[in-house]
Structure 1
Amino acid sequence: MKIATMATGGIGGYLAVKLTEAGHEVATIARGAHLDAIRQAGLTLDAPDGSATVHPWKATDDPAEVGPVDAIIFGVKGDTLESAAEACRPMLGPETVVVPFLNGVEAATRLCAVLPEDHVANGVAQISTTIAGPGVIRQTGGFARFVFAERDSRRSARIDALRSAISGAGASAPETADIDVALWQKFVLFSAMSGVTAAGRCTIGDIVAHAPLGGLFRAVVAETAAIGRARGVALPDDWEDQVWTTVEGFPPGMRASTAIDVEHGRPLEIEWVSGAAVRLGRESGVLTPMNSALYALLLPFKNGG
């Protein structure tokens, strides 16, 4: 397949390395020092099971140099979605599928406001990765799971082809009967993990060890799950308990990317996490005092610094 990563951050970079190793033609859209490093020395994945370096089919900051591809892995930061969607238009062919792997539950809807709807699918990534340095992607933890489908969850040849490519590259890409459930299952967990570890400047170990902090975490989980159910998402009845059991098994030092961004003074995606929970709760008639408090605490740091 011909596949583009827009852009080549943690998720896009991981898949770019894996898919290139598996023999696919991958175009990496990047910029600045990261792009320079990929062009000069290749793209490196530093993973728990070893390190690998590949030289992608193309490395550029101009999607027009790539032309139409079979699939676009869309993994930009939430605040740059619209501009990146406009930029990726030259890579759209008649059957190109655009699969967003962004935090939150609104990426596909936002993409449809910019791109033709028949190109846009939906997806959720369950992996912990970051750009460790120019041209280097670091994966922490051994899990790498990518769940995606057409927006109505129907089966399609283009989704099957991309799923086969990712599975063949060594990552998990299971089928799903309901992509909305998969999205909201992650969002329920991430809204709490992002908000609490960032606002509390704490780790998962702190949350599990301190009952009041754990109580806050569980209250955010319950609140976000209530929003999803009010919007018609068929979350399992015991999803809140499943989330807490999962969290108890996480490495104690684990934090959300939001907490790391706060530490380094980088802009925050809070409008698409805590802010989204507040906004969607208001639309759905669900009170969101916990998400609202976390959003308020993080708002001064939204633009970094």
Structure 2
Amino acid sequence: MRIATMATGGIGGFLAVKLANSGHQVATIARGDHLAAIVENGLTLLDTSGTELAHPWIATDDPSEVGEVDAIIFGVKGDALEAAARACLPMLGPDTVVVPFLNGVEASDRLLDILPERNVANGMAQVSTTIATAGVIKKTGEFNVFTFAERDSKPSGRIDSLRQAINKAGSTAPVTDSIERDVWSKFVLFSAVSGVTAAGRCTIGDIVSIPELGELFRQVVAETAAIGRALGVSLSSDIESRTWTAASGLPTSMRASTAIDLENGRPLEIEWISGAAVRLAKKAGIKAPINEALYALLLPHRHGARKSV
């Protein structure tokens, strides 16, 4: 397959290495020092099992140099979605599939404002990766699952082809009968992990060991699940208990990317996490006071480090 990664951050970089090294033509869209390092040295993946080096078919900051591709792995920060989506346009053919792997539940809908509906799928990633240094992607943890489908979850040859490519490359891309349910199931967990570890400046270990934090976490989970159900999402009846069990099994040192960005003075994705929960609750006609509180606490830091007064 001919596949582009837009952009080549943690998720795009991880899949770019895996797919390129399994024989696919991979175009990595990147910029600045990261792009320069990929051009000069290739793209390196640091994993718990070792190091992999891949040399992309094309590495560029100009998607018009790539041309039509079969699939676009779309993994950018929520605030960058519009600009990145417009940049994808030169790479689209009639059957190109754009698979979003962003935090939150609104990415696929937002892409429809910019890209043709026929090109847009839906997806969610369960992997912990980051750009360690320019040209180097670091993966922490053992899990790497990429779940995606057409927006209506109906069978699709192009989805099957990309799923097969990812599975053969050594990662995991399972079949799903409801991508909406899967995206929301992750959101139920992530809204709590993100909101609580960022606002509380804490870790999963703190949440599990401190009863008050654990109760706050469970309240966010229940509230976000209620929003999804009110919007007609077929979430499982036991998602609240299963989410707490899943969170309790995470590494104790784990924090959401939101918490890490806050610590480093970087802009926060809260508009697409706690802010999205608040927005969607209003759309559903229900209250979301816990998500509202977390969103308010993090709003002063939304645009990154604040200058001292």
User: Shorter-normalised TM-score: what interval?
Assistant: over 0.9
| Pairing of 1:90-101 with structure 2 (within 5 A) | 90-101=90-101
Write the distance in 1 (CA, Å) between the matches of 2:248 and 2:77: 28
Matched, 1:136 2:136: yes
| Pairing of 1:1-305 with structure 2 (within 5 A) | 1-305=1-305
Give the secondary-structure state (helix, strand or coil) at the position aligned to 1:279: helix
Write the distance in 2 (CA, Å) between the matches of 1:19 and 1:186: 24
Write the distance in 2 (CA, Å) between the matches of 1:221 and 1:301: 23
Write the distance in 2 (CA, Å) between the matches of 1:54 and 1:118: 31
Superposed CA deviations along residues 211-238 of structure 1, whole A, max 9, x for unmatched, are 0000000000000000000011111100
Cα displacement (A) at 1:285: 1.3
Q: Report the residue type matching 1:9 in the other structure.
A: G
Is there any run of 5+ residues in structure 1 with no aligned partner, and where?
none
Write the distance in 1 (CA, Å) between the matches of 2:55 and 2:282: 47
TM-score by length of 2: 0.98
**C-alpha RMSD over aligned residues:** 0.5
Write the distance in 2 (CA, Å) between the matches of 1:287 and 1:129: 34
Superposed CA deviations along residues 41-77 of structure 1, whole A, max 9, x for unmatched, are 1100001111111110000000000000000000011
Q: Paired residues, what number?
A: 305
Write the distance in 1 (CA, Å) between the matches of 2:258 and 2:38: 26
Give the secondary-structure state (helix, strand or coil) at the position aligned to 2:96: strand
Q: Report the residue type matching 2:302 in the other structure.
A: K
Write the distance in 1 (CA, Å) between the matches of 2:286 and 2:34: 42
Retained in 1: the 8 A contact 2:150–2:156? yes
Write the distance in 2 (CA, Å) between the matches of 1:51 and 1:199: 34
Cα displacement (A) at 1:93: 1.0
Give the secondary-structure state (helix, strand or coil) at the position aligned to 2:94: strand
Retained in 1: the 8 A contact 2:94–2:118? no
Cα displacement (A) at 1:286: 1.7
Superposed CA deviations along residues 67-114 of structure 1, whole A, max 9, x for unmatched, are 000000000110010111111100001210000000000001000110
Retained in 1: the 8 A contact 2:131–2:137? yes
Is there any run of 5+ residues in structure 2 with no aligned partner, and where?
none
Write the distance in 1 (CA, Å) between the matches of 2:249 and 2:87: 40
Moved over 2 A (4+): none
Write the distance in 1 (CA, Å) between the matches of 2:142 and 2:21: 18
Give the secondary-structure state (helix, strand or coil) at the position aligned to 1:138: strand
Superposed CA deviations along residues 129-164 of structure 1, whole A, max 9, x for unmatched, are 011110010101010000000000001100000000
The percentage of aligned residue pairs carrying the same residue is: 68
Give the secondary-structure state (helix, strand or coil) at the position aligned to 1:17: helix
